[in-house]
Structure formats: C-alpha cells, structure tokens
Amino acid sequence: MRATQRRTKRNLDVKTRLKTVYKKAAAEGGELVQPVESQFDKAARKGIIHPNKAARKKSRLAKAVAKISSSPPVKKTARKKAAAPKTSRKKKAAK
C-alpha cells in the first residue's frame, strides 16, 4: 500500500471520529467538551484539518453546549401595535 493511501485512510478515520465525538458532545455537553476540543487541536496540528476549521468547530461546540446548559428562555409578550387604517392612494385620473 502506498504511503498516500495509508495517510488518506488514516485521515478519513480521524475526520469520521471527530464528527462522531462532536455530535455526542454537542448533544450531551458537560465533561465531553474538553477532550473533543483537544482532539480538534491535535488534528489541526497534524494537518488533518485546517486550523480555522478546528477553531470554528470548537466555537460552535461551545455555543451548542451553552445553549443546552442554560435555563429555558423566558418568553416576553410583546404588545401588538394597532393596525393603521388602510387608505387608497390611487391618483385621480385627469379628464
């Protein structure tokens, strides 16, 4: 097996694993966040994924976990404005 084929297979395995752990961490949150962020950094350091992609994924993961852990938002009731009367703005035809 050629070296490029070995690397491609390894990189694909790593990317697949990253997707799986990301989804689990986003769903459960809590203690899983730190190891997932570490795995993204490691993959970026090895050149498997782009460093900006790792940063973006970590940011989105933190956002998803914060959304899960926060209390449900309080609904604010907005006052409805009274509808303005509809007026006809047709120009009068010149005779």
Give me the pLDDT at residue 88, please. 67
Q: Is the pLDDT of residue 73 over 60?
A: no
31-58: average pLDDT: 95
Question: What is the C-alpha separation between 3 and 23, in angstroms, rounded?
Answer: 30
Give me the pLDDT at residue 76, please. 63
Confidence of residue 18 (pLDDT cuts 50, 70, 90): very high
Output DSSP code: residue 47: T
Q: Is the pLDDT of residue 71 over 60?
A: no
Mean pLDDT of the chain: 86
For tokens 């970026």, name the residue.
44
Q: Is the pLDDT of residue 57 over 90?
A: yes
CATH homologous superfamily of 8-69 equals: Ribosomal protein S20 (1.20.58.110)
In the numeric block, which tokens belong to residue 1?
A: 């097996």
In the numeric block, which tokens belong to residue 32?
A: 């899983």
Residue by residue, DSSP assigns 36-80 as HHHHHHHHHHHTSS-HHHHHHHHHHHHHHHHHHHSPPPPPPPPPP
Confidence of residue 91 (pLDDT cuts 50, 70, 90): low
Question: What is the C-alpha separation between 81 and 84, in angstroms, rounded?
Answer: 9
**How far does Cα 94 stand from its chain's mean position?**
60
**C-alpha closest to that of 68 among 17, 18, 32:** 32
10-20: average pLDDT: 96
